[in-house]
Amino acid sequence: MSFRKITADWLFTAAGAPLREGVVVLDEEGRVQQVGRREDFDASELEVHRGALMPGFVNAHCHLELSHMKGLVGTGSTLLPFLKGVVSLRDFPQEQIEEAIQRGDEEMRKAGIVAVGDISNKADTADVKRRSPIRYYTFVELFDFMQGSGADAVFAAGREVYEVQPGEGKDRKSFVPHAPYTVSPRLFELIRKEAPAGGTLSIHNQETPHEDALFKDLSGDFPAFFKDFGAAVPDFLPFGKSSPHYTMRHLPEPDFRLLLVHNTCSTEEDIRAVQAWNPESYWVSCPNANLYIENRLPRYQHFLDAGAKVALGTDSLTSNWQLSILEEMKTIARYQSFISLETLVEWACLNGAKALGFEQELGSLEAGKKPGLNLVSLDEQGQLWEGSEVEVLF
């Protein structure tokens, strides 16, 4: 068997400190055999590159099925008008939808993404996922606008989507709630009963200040949002606490990983409360989508101070300019540059793999794993910059 011995200016394993002029040895299938330094190898055997080597990226939050809606909803609209725009634009020719899904999958592969946590409301993505080399964890997303009388019918419709999505071999799947403001206690109960032990659930969380306002005191724009969709504000609101507390109440005794997505308005107190309830909570940030929709970013210092496990996602092409985890890393580095490249690689690779339960194979450059290998260009200071690009080496 032949081996590739690949080295670059830096090697980020995502499992330890970066290695200056590190080397990773891969077999013909891309499985890591060894990690070391250049002085440990015969220079004539080395494949030398400029930039940084790092594992394949994990996109922990995507809506692949919305790829056909790229550029159709304007930027900066804020979340509630954005959601109304998405709902109003759902009707497209099926052929156009399927072609866009295929292009989105190919775009992610070329961007060095090896695994995706994908939200599905329909069955449109199932065939592409089965054929793709990317590992998918499909989250079949359910919502009833907090109208518990319709929860059983919503869950039954969701089961039809669930049954056709791939969930064996390289892929996984779960039923998940859309967001605290769209899921009734009854629908939470049905989802919780089906949650796979040791599996992963996902929920959109605190993407707009109006979300906490709804739960705390019924202020903000959500009451009007409910009315626009013909739904009544449920009698149990206001809840008196921020929205994660509603989620925690209705997902008791967690034996699953939970992905909280966006978290644009999450406080350190919220983060610590969730982690005390479920230590296997992952905070998925989609910075470009946050800028696209709400023109704001989370306070990443809150997550660092709370010792939170952060992963990265792209959201959909409806709310982003591309499906690239490197571009998400570059955005964070641009606006909150106190976060080190080493930390960003951990968020983009290992934490995402752990969040989806794929860490046995993916997420870090360690012997025995088959995580993919990306080469990322850096500036003269060894940092990400506007021109950083990714080349997939394996």
pLDDT digits (tens, 9 = 90+) for 115-160: 999 999 999 999 999 999 999 999 999 999 999 999 999 999 999 9
Question: Quick one: 148 exposed, middle or buried, by C-beta within 10 A (0-12, 13-18, 19+)?
Answer: middle
- Of the given ranges (188-197, 221-230, 279-288), which has the lowest mean pLDDT? 221-230
Q: Which residue reads 């012997």 in tokens?
A: 367
Assess whether pLDDT exceeds 90 at residue 84. no
The stretch 170-195 carries a mean pLDDT of 97
Assess whether pLDDT exceeds 70 at residue 167. yes
Instruction: Report how far apart, in Å, the C-alpha atoms of 370 and of each of 28, 90, 313, 364 are.
Output: 11, 37, 21, 9
The stretch 191-207 carries a mean pLDDT of 96
- Of the given ranges (86-100, 228-242, 321-335, 378-392), which has the lowest mean pLDDT? 86-100
- Cβ–Cβ under 8 Å, residues 54 and 12: yes
Q: How confident is the model over 298-349, as pLDDT tens digits?
A: 999 999 999 999 999 999 999 999 999 999 999 999 999 999 999 999 999 9
List Cβ neighbours of 235 (8 Å cut-off, separation of 6 or more): none
Q: Which percentage of the chain shows pLDDT scores above 90?
A: 93
Assess whether pLDDT exceeds 90 at residue 175. yes
- The pLDDT-based confidence of 67 (bands split at 50, 70, 90) is very high
The whole-number pLDDT of residue 88 equals: 74
Q: Which percentage of the chain shows pLDDT scores above 70?
A: 100
Assess whether pLDDT exceeds 80 at residue 89. no
Please give the Cα distance from 330 to 297 (Å, whole number). 13
Name the 3-class secondary structure at 158: helix
Q: How confident is the model over 3-36, as pLDDT tens digits?
A: 999 999 999 999 999 999 999 999 999 999 999 9
Assess whether pLDDT exceeds 90 at residue 220. yes
Please give the Cα distance from 150 to 328 (Å, whole number). 37
The whole-number pLDDT of residue 82 equals: 87
- The pLDDT-based confidence of 90 (bands split at 50, 70, 90) is low
Assess whether pLDDT exceeds 90 at residue 83. no
Q: List domains and CATH numbers for the chain.
A: 4-53+382-392 (no CATH), 57-362 (3.20.20.140)
Q: Backbone phi, then psi, for 36, in 5-degree steps?
A: -160, -160
Assess whether pLDDT exceeds 90 at residue 233. yes
Assess whether pLDDT exceeds 80 at residue 223. yes
- Specify the pTM: 0.97
